[in-house]
Amino acid sequence: MPILSKDARIIWRRRIQGFWEEFSRKKIGILGLIMLFVFIFMAIFAPWLTPYDPLAQQRVADGFAMPQWVTVFPQFQNLTNTESVWFDWSKTTESPYIIGYGRNVTVTYEPKATETFRIKFESIYTYKAPVPPNSFYLDFSWTAGNVENMEYSINLYVINPRTEKSFLLYYKTNTTPAGENSHVDSIDPILMYRLGLSPGVDILGNIVFPDKGDYRFVLEMFFKPTNPSARCDINVREGQLTVLGTAHGILGTDNAGADLWSQLVWGARVSLMIGLIAALLSTTIGITVGVVTGYLGGIVDEAMMRVVDILLCLPILPLLLSLVFLFGKNIFYIILFVAIFGWQGLSRIVRSQVLSLRESSFIECATASGASKTYIMTKHLVPNVLPVAFASLILAVPSAILFEASLSFLGFGDPRAPTWGKILQMGFGFGGFSHLAWWWIIPPGLCITLLCLAFVFMGHAIDDVVNPRLRRRR
Amino acid sequence: MRGYLVKRIIVSLIILWIIASLNFVIFQVVSPVSPEESILPPGGGDDASMREARAILRRLYGLDEPIYIRYAKYVQNMFTWNFGTSFRSMKSVSGEMSWRMSNSILLLGLAEIATILVGIPIGIFAASRRGTKIDVATIGAGLLTWGVPTFFIQLLALLVFAYYSYVWFGFSLFPTRGIYSIPPPADPVGFVADVAWHLALPVGSLVLAGFGSWALYTRSILLETLTQDYIVTARAKGLDERTVLYRHAFRATLPPIVTVVALAVPGVVTGAMITEYLFNLPGIGQWYLTALLSADYPVVQSVLFIYAMLTIFANLFADIIYGVLDPRIRVGQGSGR
């Protein structure tokens, strides 16, 4: 059975058509609607608009990399892009023990004598940018198999073509289990200390790649049998060098080098979800409380209005903070708490409307023809207060969004939800200001503002339509 | 009037008591972190010394007593301004409350007064020129304040006036943190100037974020008043527009405006938590945040209590002042709200 009868559906269709005709004449409302559609588009198509996972903190460029498009200005022309290359190892000497080389290197050493053996592979990386990079990292994985009576070591170093100076980036001797997925990072303080540099002062990228040229990466293996029947296979795979750029994408990167555009776009989804669900919940509570108290009156009314009085006296933001702190930083708790503290104003407005509707003749008529209280409340009172509630719903969305943004900004947001407030919090707490990272601070704040304004504009227009006489706003 | 007043005061005290009780329930009954755990270092283990330390702390803070005695003592302490000892600083909460409160009141009082002094004249000005560009701009500013988060305005202000100005001019136009320089200037004039310099950005940004809604509110009330019959009469008498606006219309808008001023006070106090956090001003909002993060429950409870008290008494004050200013409701209805 459909929820609405055929007549009711026709009435509702006419009402909505009439509303739309009025609404479409308000320029500010249409502007708000267009802004809202942009954000809805962002929220729906977030996976296709963004290349990176917003929460993975994947290092796609140098920390505080500027947006790509600033390179059109002359003073930023020296910004570089992130460059990733595969190592292509070539052999430096001929040896029967080399099974394969290229992207995957395999060496099988089976000497039948206690003879040490050293072998080198080389891969050339041409650094082309006019300024040295700040940071780089390499990834590769290696395994040693069939190790019998053998001590081995594996080293990786880079040689500067001009000064012939070399930097030992990686070395390992017999490990258990034999092999690992290695990640060598230029910001690793242990690596810096080992090279005689001070972390935080020296910039390894600058020192290793000081200028343009063909840098030789050398992969060296060293075998030392302890017994004539020794054997060892070493396999080095998938070596990749990433030199991090100082310009990246549409909105640059944060302190950890993660893409900010991805975080921003995914933030639209969370903010819209929080705003809409919390507003719907609080409006539902507000309508229910208003209709029930207004229609039933008596002790229910008195009790609920005292509850409203108490809720109006609560300091909402501090209380939200402590509730989130106590119950856990979970997005659904945040929505619930924001909704619980957001219905008092509406319930009073609805109650006062119901108080006057209660005396009107159509309700009297319904009561006389034997309609139950539930029937009158759901079929007569609720539909009549819906227009007011709708305007209030639209205006409740920005306040919910702002509450969530404030919570996130103060560090009480859900750590698993990428929100605009969290981006701002990170920007404020992790050096966005001292690095003058406007691309980190301004976009999320602007997005919060524009999304809230979209709803405020629409609410303003809707309020004009549904309450033409009521010019005063709260 | 007196009977109504007494009733209102009693109701206010009851609400305050309910909120204090809620506070107790939240932090001492359902809280997942027990007080002694929040004092001791986390992951302390369960050996004999830790058990002894816990026992000592329970005794020290009276946690070994049954819950109803704790509750009775708690309520008594709250209403006698005895907020106990902070878990973190081991100092009296009431003592720290007073100097932090004075900082907050300085910041927020200045901000509130400045916002009203900017907002209300703009509202009157807009109402007197209804439909002009000035009026439209006022409505726009009012709507903007609904959408722009205050902390975003403050972040922008910090970025431009404190950080970018350092790049552009070689020095920061305004400081980024604190309420006075360290060490503070010795002479009193210098000290006042120093505090003003530190408060310029936070107060300025609060005014920028808040004046629009005041202007909008004043404008709408004034416009409503201007349609009243006695204004028509005043104009018909041939009084000049200025007299009509200020003598007749504006005076009638005072009761609702004063009420809203009183009602806005608690909102400003709690809302300024983020301002204090951002500019690192040692007010009660910033205190609340740091206390909450370190589970310093005596401080958290007391600040929430103070906030609730402020709201309740601002409500009460608004009711009384409305009765005083508006002779029509002096008879003592108003319980119907």
> Given this model, what pLDDT does residue B331 score?
46
Nearest to B150 by CA among B102, B219, B220, B212: B212
pLDDT in tens, B65-93: 888 888 888 888 888 888 888 877 778 88
Q: Collect all residues with Cβ–Cβ distance below 8 Å to A258 and sequence separation of at least 6.
A: A52, A56, A57, A58, A59, A60
- One domain, residues A328 and A400: yes
Q: How many distinct structural domains can be found in chain A?
A: 2
User: What is the reported pLDDT for B236?
Assistant: 86
Residue A158 included in any domain = yes
Residue A205's nearest CA partner among A92, A100, A59 is: A59
Give the side-chain half-sphere CA count within 13 A for A344: 15
Other residues' Cβ atoms within 10 Å of the Cβ of residue B136:
12
pLDDT above 70 coverage of chain A, percent:
97
Question: Are A90 and A229 members of one domain?
Answer: yes
Which residue is listed with tokens 């539909």?
A383
Q: What is the CATH number of the domain that holds A438?
A: 1.10.3720.10
> What is the 3-state secondary structure of B241-309?
HHHHHHHHHHHHHHHHHHHHHHHHHHHHHHHHHHHHHHCCCCCHHHHHHHHHHCCCHHHHHHHHHHHHH
**How far apart, in whole angstroms, are the C-alpha atoms of residue B50 and residue B44?**
7
CATH value at residue A184: 2.60.120
Separation CA A36–CA B294 (nearest Å):
39
> Residue A106: enclosing H or E segment and its boundaries?
strand A105-109
Closest CB to B311 among A313, A446, A472: A313
- Contacts of residue A284, defined as CB under 8 A and 6 or more positions apart, other chains included, come to none
First to last CA, chain B: 16
**Interface contact B156-A442, CB threshold 8 A:** yes
Please identify which residue in the block is written with the tokens 């004092």.
B39
In eight-state DSSP terms, residue A69 is G
A165 and A19 share a domain? no
Which residues does B233 contact at the CB level (< 8 Å), separation at least 6?
Answer: none
pLDDT score for B337: 35
The answer on A417 and A278 residing in a single domain is yes
pLDDT of B37 above 80: no
Domain-located, residue A74? no
- Given a cut of 80, whether residue B31 has pLDDT beyond it is no
SS3 B65: coil
Work out the pLDDT band at B221, boundaries 50, 70, 90.
Answer: confident
Question: Left, alpha or beta for A40 (phi > 0: left; psi -120 to 50: alpha)?
Answer: alpha
Q: Following DSSP, what letter does each residue of B136-170 receive, concatenated?
A: HHHHHHHHHHHHS-HHHHHHHHIIIIIIIHHHHHS
- Same structural domain, A18 and A144: no
Residue A441 and residue A354 share a domain: yes
Mean pLDDT lowest among B200-204, B234-238, B287-291: B234-238
DSSP string, A341-407: TS-HHHHHHHHHHHHHHHTSHHHHHHHHTT--HHHIIIIIIHHHHHHHHHHHHHHHHHHHHHHHHHH
Q: Is the pLDDT of residue B33 over 70?
A: no
- A313 to chain B: which residues are within 8 Å by CB? 15, 19, 308, 311-312, 315
Q: pLDDT tens-digit profile of B89-140?
A: 778 888 888 888 888 888 888 888 899 899 988 988 888 888 788 888 888 8
Contacts A409 to B, Cβ<8 Å: 151, 274
Q: Return the closest-CA partner of residue A251 out of A38, A53, A66, A22.
A: A66
CA quadruple A7, A10, A12, A17: dihedral, nearest 10:
-160
Q: Which of B146, B266, B300 sits opposite A322 (nearest CB)?
A: B300
Residue in chain B nearest A311 by alpha carbon: B19
β-strands A105-109, A83-86: how paired? unpaired
Q: What is the pLDDT of residue B336?
A: 38
Q: Cα–Cα distance between A145 and A159 in angstroms, integer?
A: 29
Give the residue-averaged pLDDT of B28-46: 69
Quick check: is A251 in a domain? no
* SS3 call for A430: coil
3-state helix, strand, coil in chain A (%, to 5): 50, 20, 30
pLDDT at A59: 85
Tens digits of per-residue pLDDT, B191-206? Answer: 888 888 888 899 999 8
Residue B70: partners with Cβ closer than 8 Å, 6 or more residues away: B28, B62, B63
**Bridge-partner residues for B85, per DSSP?**
B92
With CB atoms and an 8 Å threshold, state whether B143 touches A456. yes
A72 belongs to a structural domain: no
Percent of chain B with pLDDT over 90: 3
Q: How far, in Å, are A138, A465, A473, B102, B336 from residue A470 at the CA level? A: 66, 10, 8, 41, 22
Q: How confident is the model at residue B235 (pLDDT cuts 50, 70, 90)?
A: confident
Cα–Cα dist B70/B67, whole Å:
5
Does residue A40 lie in a domain region?
yes
- For residue A70, tell me if it sits in a domain: no
Q: Which residue spans within A51-104 are E strands per DSSP?
A: 83-86, 90-91, 98-100
Q: Which domain holds residue A421?
A: 6-58+258-470
Structure confidence at residue A284 (pLDDT): 94
Together in a domain, A53 and A87: no
Say yes or no for a CB contact (<8 Å) between A315 and B151.
no
Percent of chain B residues topping a pLDDT of 70: 91
pLDDT value of residue A455: 92
User: Considering only CA atoms, which of A455, A405, A464, A374 is closest in space to residue A267?
Assistant: A405
Q: Are residues A159 and A205 in the same domain?
A: yes
pLDDT at A130: 84
The tokens for A371 are: 């309609």
Domain end marker among A243, A270, A300? A243
Does A226 share its domain with A264?
Answer: no
Contacts of A391 in chain B (CB under 8 A): none
Closest CA of chain B from A176, distance in Å: 32
Q: What was the pLDDT predicted at B29?
A: 78
Per-residue pLDDT band for B5 (boundaries 50, 70, 90) equals confident
Q: Do A117 and A191 fall into the same domain?
A: yes
Q: Is A384 inside any structural domain? A: yes
Domain end (from A193, A218, A243):
A243
Question: Among B133, B260, B108, B124, which residue's Cα sits nearest to residue B199?
Answer: B108
**Tens digits of residue pLDDT in A230-286:** 888 888 888 888 888 888 888 989 888 889 999 999 999 999 999 999 999 999 999
- Residue B258 pLDDT grade (very low, low, confident, very high; cuts 50, 70, 90): confident
Give contacts of A271 with chain B, Cβ < 8 Å: none
Q: What is the mean pLDDT of chain B?
A: 82
ipTM attached to this prediction: 0.85
Whether A262 and A239 map to the same domain: the answer is no
What is the per-residue DSSP string for B75-136?
Answer: HHHHHTT---B-TTT-SBHHHHHHHHHHHHHHHHHHHHHHHHHHHHHHHHHHHHTTTSHHHH
Which amino acid is it at A80? Answer: T
Closest CA to B312 of B4, B2, B17: B17
Task: Find the angle CA(A233)-CA(A234)-CA(A238) to the nearest 5 degrees.
Answer: 140
B45 falls in which pLDDT band (50, 70, 90)? low
Domain boundary residue, one of A208, A243, A278: A243
User: Closest partner residue to A410 among B220, B289, B315, by Cβ?
Assistant: B289
Ranges of residues in chain A with a pLDDT under 50 are: 1, 470-474
In angstroms, the CA B96 to CA B93 distance is 5
Of the candidates B146, B303, B311, the beta carbon closest to that of A452 is on B146
Say whether both A89 and A126 belong to one domain: yes
Residues from chain A that touch B210, judged by Cβ atoms under 8 A, are none
Kindly indicate the confidence band of residue B42, based on its pLDDT and cuts at 50, 70 and 90: low
The token pair that represents A314 in the structure block: 């609560």
Q: Rg of chain A over CA atoms, in angstroms?
A: 33
Across the interface, whether the CB atoms of B304 and A316 are under 8 A apart is answered: no
Q: Which helix (H) or strand (E) holds A217?
A: strand A213-225
Mean pLDDT, range B235-242, rounded to an integer: 84
A73 falls within a domain: no
Q: A-side interface with B, Cβ within 8 Å?
A: 309-310, 312-319, 321-323, 325-326, 395, 398, 402, 405-406, 409-411, 424, 428, 433-434, 436, 438, 441-442, 445-446, 448-450, 452-453, 455-457, 460, 471-473
Pairwise CA distance, residues A306 & A335, whole Å? 24
Q: Rounded to a whole number, what is the distance in Å from the CA of B281 to chain A's nearest CA?
A: 15
